[in-house]
Chains A and B, each alone.
Chain A
Amino acid sequence: MNNITNGTTATPVNELWDGILLLSVFGTIDSARSKEMMETMLAKVVQTSAKVIVLDILGVAVVDSAVANHLLKIGRATKLIGADTIISGISPEVAVTLVELGIDLEATITTANLSDALQLAFDRTGYTIEQSK
């Protein structure tokens, strides 16, 4: 375990591919965590000139309206500095809960799994994946 109190980030942002960042989130997203996620992501976008961020929330236990609000804010902030956010890992339970809660994720692009998100990210950055013969 990392020492998360000592300035070390608990949510590492990985450069998955040229122009594509991946942030996998586990556990709970409270306001402190979301602030840290936003700061880390913005810094990494600027540093790498990323075009797309994949934010995987499969490991997030509960997506209530506060969490959704945090995710929307992160999406808006990254959009402002020049990168689109794709939220992946929307489990069936989370999908049902979001609909029942009445949450509108606005223009946010969401996918059920990481591979769909990756496909979109490649489209966005102009890459085509091909299987070699």
Chain B
Amino acid sequence: MYANRNILVLTVPADITSTDIAHLYDEISSVAATGGLQGVVVDCSKILAADTIQARRVFRVAKLARLYRLSAVFCCIREGVATALVELDFKPGDVQTATTVDQAMQQLERPDVNLAAS
């Protein structure tokens, strides 16, 4: 976990327990408290499998970020994870996603280029 260009990059651990997510919440809250934070990137590359409960747990991070007026971009979700979630009828809704950490950062730096908002 590191902060770069005022963007906090967090990595979701493979197991996605509620304790793991609580750690991510703490991290966001403490960094947000210091001010100057532009957004949060949530790197999901470590996740090899996820059920819908775990997926919802991960995406709730965006809700917490929003409380601090921060956008969250989820990135590096693996193809197999995505297909499995969709087969389980999981609906990602209006979350922001990106293929790579770099792209996620770019997206946070250019919030105007958001198709969902147009």
Q: Note all chain A residues with C-beta closer than 8 A to B81.
A: 80
Q: Note all chain B residues with C-beta closer than 8 A to A129.
A: none
> Shortest CB–CB separation between residue A92 and chain B, in angstroms?
24
Cα(A43)–Cα(B115), bound, Å: 22
CB-contacts of B60-118 with A (<8 A): 74-79, 81-83, 85-87, 90-95, 97-100, 103-104, 110, 113-116, 118
In the complex, the chain A residue whose C-beta lies closest to that of B82 is A80
The answer to whether B115 and A84 have CB atoms under 8 Å apart is yes
> Shortest CB–CB separation between residue A9 and chain B, in angstroms?
16
> Shortest CB–CB separation between residue B16 and chain A, in angstroms?
15
The interface size of chain B toward A, counting residues with CB under 8 Å, comes to: 30
Q: Note all chain B residues with C-beta closer than 8 A to A81.
A: 77-79, 82, 97, 99
Q: Note all chain B residues with C-beta closer than 8 A to A45.
A: 99
Q: Note all chain B residues with C-beta closer than 8 A to A42.
A: 79, 82-83
> Shortest CB–CB separation between residue A25 and chain B, in angstroms?
18
Main secondary structure of the interface of A (DSSP, over half): helix
> Shortest CB–CB separation between residue A85 and chain B, in angstroms?
10
Q: With contacts A43-B79, A46-B79, A120-B115 known, is A80 near B99, CB below 8 A?
A: no
> Shortest CB–CB separation between residue A83 and chain B, in angstroms?
7
The answer to whether A77 and B82 have CB atoms under 8 Å apart is yes
The answer to whether B99 and A50 have CB atoms under 8 Å apart is yes
Q: With contacts A38-B83, A42-B83, A82-B103 known, is A76 near B115, CB below 8 A?
A: no
The answer to whether B86 and A73 have CB atoms under 8 Å apart is yes
Q: Note all chain A residues with C-beta closer than 8 A to B113.
A: 123-126
Q: With contacts A125-B113, A126-B113 known, is A76 near B92, CB below 8 A?
A: yes
> Shortest CB–CB separation between residue A88 and chain B, in angstroms?
13
Question: With an 8 A cutoff between CB atoms, is A100 at the interface?
Answer: no
Q: Which residues of A contact B (CB under 8 A)?
A: 38-39, 42-43, 45-46, 49-52, 73, 76-84, 86, 106-107, 109, 120, 123-126
Other A-B contacts than A80-B92, A82-B76, A84-B115, 19 sampled, CB-CB below 8 A, are A51-B98, A51-B99, A51-B103, A73-B86, A77-B83, A80-B85, A81-B97, A81-B99, A82-B74, A82-B98, A82-B103, A82-B104, A84-B116, A120-B118, A123-B113, A124-B113, A124-B114, A124-B115, A126-B113
Smallest CB-CB A-B distances: 5 pairs: A82-B99, A80-B82, A124-B115, A82-B97, A82-B98
